[in-house]
Structure 1
Amino acid sequence: MQYGASSNSRDFLQQGTWLHRLDDGLALAFTRCRPPRALIETSHTPHAEAGIILTFGLLGSSEYREYCGPRVDFCRGHTTVTAFDHSRGERRMPAGESVLQLRLIASAEWLTRYLGKSSQATLPTSSGIRTLAFRPTPASSGAHLQALRTLLQTNGSRIQLHIHALSLMGEQLETLLPPPAAPAKGRMTTADAERIHQARNIIVEELDTPLTLAYLAARVGLGEQKLKAGFQHLFDITPGRFLHEQRMRHAHRLLESGQQVAQAAYATGYRHPSNFSAAFSGFFGYPPKAVKHGR
């Protein structure tokens, strides 16, 4: 599979595959193709080391056949998760069928850095590729996939690309990674406590971004359930509730300083002021327009 660099939206709308590097060892690939004849082309994994690929089928279907190895299927509405190590084979697409796929490609080093050493258990022990999951793409992934497509087409914010990509990674890999060894009841390791404090700091410092539990968990290297439980243990509140409270209190301060409702909404992660107004009214018991400058 040949990868090209997409530099603008016109390139993005043409046929082919474009690779967008998000981080050391993490890349986002987008494939758009409608071959007039059945297509068979040589393909190989893009990293020199082992890793994981998440393929989200948006349109059509295709398959990958490893030389002297297994077949991997990709189709619309399904997510295929594969682990690889120096795999080479053929990518096949049927004639006249539009194929649209978005892939997240993470190296072993990246997985260890973000998800811990437990992620290594999912990787092949020898050269090749193996399927870890083939399942319907959950509805919760839809918003992230649409956001990534829009951001790629418009050369959008790099941090927004990173957030949506990590959210998808966390959501898909949560059920595949082996659970970490549980500490003694009522105890928490120092490393986990540090990660949970790190997640709290991310919330406080990035209130204007669309934070999700999956993104926070992937970014600090903890499972979602472990992050929720640890957050509750350390701070007596869930991450979601803490994020909501921080956003509302920050918004109140902004309104008091004289900012408009729309400005306060965007500064606290809301893209629609009407949603912000409803959340603010539910939290404080009065609408944001009732906040007076200097109140």
Structure 2
Amino acid sequence: MTAHKICAELCQHEGAERMLVIAFALSGQSEFRCPKGREMKFQPNQATVSIFREGQGQRVYAADTPIQQLRLVVTESALARFIGPQRCQGLLGSALGPHESFRQVACCDINPSEHLRRLKSPSIHQEDGLTQRIHALSLLSEQLQALEVTSSRQAKLTARDLDTLDRIDLFMQSNLDKPLNNAYLCTAMGVSEYRLKEYFRQVHGISPGRYLLELRMTRARELLAAGYRVSEVAYKVGYQHPNNLTAAFTRRFGHTPKSVCGNRVV
């Protein structure tokens, strides 16, 4: 698909169990946004592995850029049947926290695969259902093996670590007007800078600073749409000067804060 302006698509994740989603961004850039303000980006030529549970979200596509993606989606129960409950649990990890509608597990360059080549070919629709499933399951097997190799190299986060990350996330969202650098967060939450960076690297795939920026930009967009002035929004999301917010907002969304329409707050 190709959109001539930024395009947003609502999506619904149904079901009472977790789903493993492997998204292959073959071309173009997009992102997923959940109602809680968290975002996950899909970069060209990268495979992003994530875990979802029931909920709503929004897929946002860049303007004037061809978008081609392939997604493998498998429920936890199906995955357990394919590879066994123990291996399935090892791949999916701990249950999603109360503030997680999804969790990014990994992001890596797309490796050459005959099965991926066949699935992205237009001729795949002419194949019978069995052939399509063989390629899909073979590609899933390849990705799971690569994911297990990556996971074995990382120190596993414990349930306590994930609870701590939930607390840090809530603290950040509640204190966007404060100078939330790494030192501030470590002092406030009682964690070392090394652990702080590891939490965000392993769960979100980005640094605490990048995650904070995404929270601030999302909140700024909500306030602007509600009618707040740029100067008011700047202070509410931690910028001392409105010009700094304008620069960051424009880099992030491709348009200025003033272009966001909303009813003026009195």
Please, what TM-score do these two structures have when normalized by structure 2?
Answer: 0.50
Structure in which a larger fraction of residues adopt helix: 2
Please, what TM-score do these two structures have when normalized by structure 1?
Answer: 0.45
